[in-house]
Structure 1
Amino acid sequence: MPESGTTEAAPRSVGATIELEGLTKRYPGSDRPAVDDVTMEIGAGETVVFVGPSGCGKSTTLKMINRLIEPTGGRIRIGGEDVTDMDPVKLRRTIGYAIQASGLFPHMTVAQNIALVPKMLRWPSGRVRDRVEEMLDLVGLDPDEFRDRYPRQLSGGQQQRVGVARALAADPPVLLMDEPFGAVDPITRDHLQDELIRLQRELHKTIVFVTHDFDEAIKIGDRIAVLREQSHIAQFDTPEAILTNPADDFVSGFVGAGAALKRLNLTRVGDVAVTDYPTVGVDDPLDEISARLRSAGTDEVLVLDKRGRPYKWLRRGDIARTQGSLARAGVLVHDTVTRDATLRDALEAVLTDNTGRVAVTGRRGAYEGVVDVETLMNSVHELLEADRLEARESQAGLEEQRSAQTHAEQEGAHPPGDRGEAQA
């Protein structure tokens, strides 16, 4: 029996299909619709990214799914149910929504922000409390440290994590995300993208994500919808298909130069060799650290902080200069990557850190291993070689097609009867 005020954990919901049929939005006084006749189907548990130029209608299309903007025409079905005429407030309580700059209420604590929708749905207080703890842990924030803070006491990245936790708190099957990471610095943005990929692997929600950044779309999307003006769909396909076979010049413009290198965003750190590396704790005695260096047969160890997170690279020669303390010895770890980070993220981190390797972390930044520049460069060369091979095969196919066409044209210019008469 559960204790008074608590409930047994309910099974988690999974993603639901989203069907848009002829979805249109026309504003009064405008000579043409802002969104014109959008029809698409998004699979349950799929992450679909809308990308397109500013003003093309991608955010308007997203907001019509949860009816923050009312459509002028068309139908919306979620999980097979037509929600076009449903009470919009009731609909929004069943759909998670995360926006740029988190949208947290400044007068509420982190816990109160996350609990907002569950309380509206009249969940028992014990279940709400448990859900807040679960959500904070899920997005990598220590509940004891963060539940009672206010948004102003959080970094931009922490605010965005809380925003995602709030969007997921009522366990919705669908999560809408409108440029949620656009207001944070590039390093934090990479980590938030990795966190979203990890969460999606665990939760299997249906995610519709709006961005203007094609690299971000490649990294997180199962499929990408490249949108023209009025949300007309230029191409709706997998990242691989769009990179290797853009539908037209408009899509090619979004792909931009260096398509082969952009494919680094399709391969995860977890797909290559992540190796272990000698580690010591920040509070370990210096003689134990020296012994660890000798037994490992290396000139360097990775120092972990009290929470098991990468802290410093410590070389053998640094120990002589410690003067009994690690405070001034070694080189601080400036950046880390997760297993869900892309090879491009890892390569940038390696080049920025200038150590020839980057530490790989898991939940709450705990150390899991390292990936080195040699492994990354080998992967880059393999991708480039695969692209060259594909290009050669494509060129050979085109030449064969032209040869066949030329042969057919020559045959057509000289019918068999004509050739016979000429020979006669």
Structure 2
Amino acid sequence: MPDPFPTGGPAAGAGRPRASGATIELDRLTKRFPGSAAPAVDSVTMEIRAGEIVVFVGPSGCGKTTTMKMINRLIEPTSGRIRIGGEDVTSIDPVRLRRKIGYAIQSSGLFPHMTVAQNIALVPRMAGWSKARTSARVEEMLDLVGLDPAEFHGRYPRQLSGGQQQRVGVARALAADPPVLLMDEPFGAVDPITRDHLQDELIRLQHELHKTIVFVTHDFDEAIKLGDRIAVLRERSHIAQFDTPEAILTNPVDDFVSGFVGAGAALKRLNLTRVRDVEVVDVPTATVDDPLQSIFEALRSGTSNEVLLLDRHRRPYKWLRRGDLMRAKGSLARAGTLVHDTVTRDATLRDALEAVLTDNAGRVPVTGRRGAYEGVVDMETLMKSVHELLEADRLEAVEHQHRLEEQRAEQTRRAQEGKPGGPEGGS
């Protein structure tokens, strides 16, 4: 049987074309566990398009993780079919299947006795890649997830922060260039700020890689931020609504879905707009290696009363005001205010707004690859976007009310004329 969803093959690797995503079709997929009266997953039918992120969200125990694990057959289906790239993979060797599907879980799942490089190289080595090709791939993947290969190559998982471990976990899942990536609450065990940055990193990676990603979460805000489409699942993975985040926010199909949307749908729509969609401005900058006198002159000659100090890797480090330099007395060690948070261009406006409010400074630095400075987004820009979203929601509500009134008027007219479709005619 031909390979149902080939990776990049012998040519794949550093500097070579990567495999893009593959379609996933679930056809009446069902799982009954022994001893259970009802199925855990009951006849799920769904098509996931190539290159999109689909997020499964639903209450605990609804079957979302079980459904995802049947895709790579970590859980064997009781009945139904799974097609990837148009090929039925229900009966092929499950070990071979799993080598073709990336898998990332909560707390990274890294092997503690292996170095970062050994963890990432695991699947390529099992797939028979050459030593040179595997080594090049490890370097490429570390760079892709924003970790310096020279710094992290030989470290062990215990020497990494939680966020760094999750980045390595994603690198390992992508190392063999699979067209499909399954992610089971991968960012659930890290702090909120790190989680936001990891979400941004996944969005950035997807812009480059165009994989097909199935992502499981219990956090509806995370689903809105990441998903091209969201599958809201009821008990036994029955699909309540499968649509774009915007459609679910503005038109939930019933009270069950509305419960997931929750209050403040207009503000939740801030998760649909990215920093890259609004104006990012530049501010005066200096580096820690610049002489104090040149920094002072930049402040004195500039229109702003502050300078953003960058470290040696051009990452935002401190905000310096004119008064800070007067008190510096030849040293920047105690001068200025540390930058507590940054956002990437893939961050949502909600992330940026939270960062600005937390920092209480009216602006937040925007960073790119490896945290390098790219600009600043300010409160004025963010509030303008908030007002635009609220106004759009107000107009949508007015239009919706008009449509309802027109429908009622039409029903009344039909009823008066004795035509079907009125209160007694039914239709």
TM bin, normalised by shorter chain, reads over 0.9
| CA–CA distance in structure 2, aligned partners of residues 277 and 205 of structure 1 | 36
Gaps of 5+ in 1: 1-5, 414-424
Matching of residue 308 in structure 1 with residue 314 in structure 2:
yes
| CA–CA distance in structure 2, aligned partners of residues 8 and 230 of structure 1 | 42
| CA–CA distance in structure 2, aligned partners of residues 97 and 10 of structure 1 | 22
Equivalent residues of 2:104, 2:173 under 8 A apart: yes
Matching of residue 255 in structure 1 with residue 258 in structure 2:
no
| CA–CA distance in structure 2, aligned partners of residues 35 and 180 of structure 1 | 22
Equivalent residues of 1:7, 1:126 under 8 A apart: no
Of residues 177, 201, 211, the one that matches 1:171 is 177
What does 1:14-33 align with in structure 2 at a 5 Å threshold? 14-33=20-39
| CA–CA distance in structure 1, aligned partners of residues 161 and 381 of structure 2 | 33
Bigger CA drift: 110-119 or 395-404? Answer: 395-404
What secondary structure is seen at the aligned counterpart in 1 of 2:418? helix
Equivalent residues of 1:98, 1:164 under 8 A apart: yes
Matching of residue 61 in structure 1 with residue 67 in structure 2:
yes
1:136 corresponds in structure 2 to: 142
What secondary structure is seen at the aligned counterpart in 2 of 1:45? coil
Equivalent residues of 2:14, 2:140 under 8 A apart: no
What secondary structure is seen at the aligned counterpart in 2 of 1:320? helix
Equivalent residues of 2:13, 2:137 under 8 A apart: no
Of residues 106, 113, 137, the one that matches 1:107 is 113
1:343 corresponds in structure 2 to: 349
1:52 corresponds in structure 2 to: 58
Q: CA deviation at 1:298?
A: 1.4
Cα RMSD of the aligned pairs, angstroms, is 1.1
Letter in 1 for 2:286: V
Letter in 2 for 1:44: A
**Residues 220-275 of structure 1: CA distance to partner in whole angstroms, max 9, x if unpaired?**
00000000000000000000100000011100000000000000000000000001
Matching of residue 70 in structure 1 with residue 68 in structure 2:
no
1:403 corresponds in structure 2 to: 409
Equivalent residues of 2:14, 2:137 under 8 A apart: no
Q: CA deviation at 1:407?
A: 1.9
| CA–CA distance in structure 1, aligned partners of residues 99 and 114 of structure 2 | 19
Bigger CA drift: 159-168 or 287-296? Answer: 287-296
What does 1:76-225 align with in structure 2 at a 5 Å threshold? 76-225=82-231
Of residues 381, 387, 410, the one that matches 1:375 is 381
Letter in 2 for 1:401: Q
Letter in 2 for 1:247: V
Letter in 1 for 2:336: G
| CA–CA distance in structure 2, aligned partners of residues 178 and 60 of structure 1 | 10
| CA–CA distance in structure 1, aligned partners of residues 303 and 249 of structure 2 | 44
| CA–CA distance in structure 2, aligned partners of residues 379 and 86 of structure 1 | 50
2:291 corresponds in structure 1 to: 285
What secondary structure is seen at the aligned counterpart in 2 of 1:321? helix
2:240 corresponds in structure 1 to: 234
Gaps of 5+ in 2: 1-11, 420-427
| CA–CA distance in structure 1, aligned partners of residues 17 and 93 of structure 2 | 26
2:5 corresponds in structure 1 to: none
2:300 corresponds in structure 1 to: 294
Letter in 2 for 1:278: P
| CA–CA distance in structure 2, aligned partners of residues 296 and 121 of structure 1 | 57
Matching of residue 265 in structure 1 with residue 271 in structure 2:
yes
| CA–CA distance in structure 2, aligned partners of residues 367 and 11 of structure 1 | 29
Q: CA deviation at 1:294?
A: 1.9
Q: CA deviation at 1:9?
A: 5.0
Letter in 1 for 2:407: Q
1:416 corresponds in structure 2 to: none
CA gap of 1:287–1:7, structure 2 versus 1, over 3 A, is: closer
**Residues 300-323 of structure 1: CA distance to partner in whole angstroms, max 9, x if unpaired?**
010000000000000011001112
State the TM-score, normalizing by the size of structure 1: 0.95
Letter in 2 for 1:240: E
Letter in 2 for 1:16: A
| CA–CA distance in structure 2, aligned partners of residues 8 and 297 of structure 1 | 45
**Residues 42-96 of structure 1: CA distance to partner in whole angstroms, max 9, x if unpaired?**
0000100000000000000000000000000000000011100010000000000
**Residues 177-232 of structure 1: CA distance to partner in whole angstroms, max 9, x if unpaired?**
00000000000000000000000000000000000000000000000000000000
Letter in 2 for 1:359: P
Q: CA deviation at 1:340?
A: 0.2
Of residues 346, 358, 367, the one that matches 2:364 is 358
Letter in 1 for 2:109: G
| CA–CA distance in structure 2, aligned partners of residues 8 and 151 of structure 1 | 24
Q: CA deviation at 1:11?
A: 2.4
**Residues 352-388 of structure 1: CA distance to partner in whole angstroms, max 9, x if unpaired?**
0111000000000000000000000000000000000
| CA–CA distance in structure 2, aligned partners of residues 322 and 38 of structure 1 | 65
| CA–CA distance in structure 1, aligned partners of residues 392 and 14 of structure 2 | 51
Equivalent residues of 2:341, 2:364 under 8 A apart: yes
1:34 corresponds in structure 2 to: 40
| CA–CA distance in structure 1, aligned partners of residues 78 and 315 of structure 2 | 52
Letter in 2 for 1:348: E
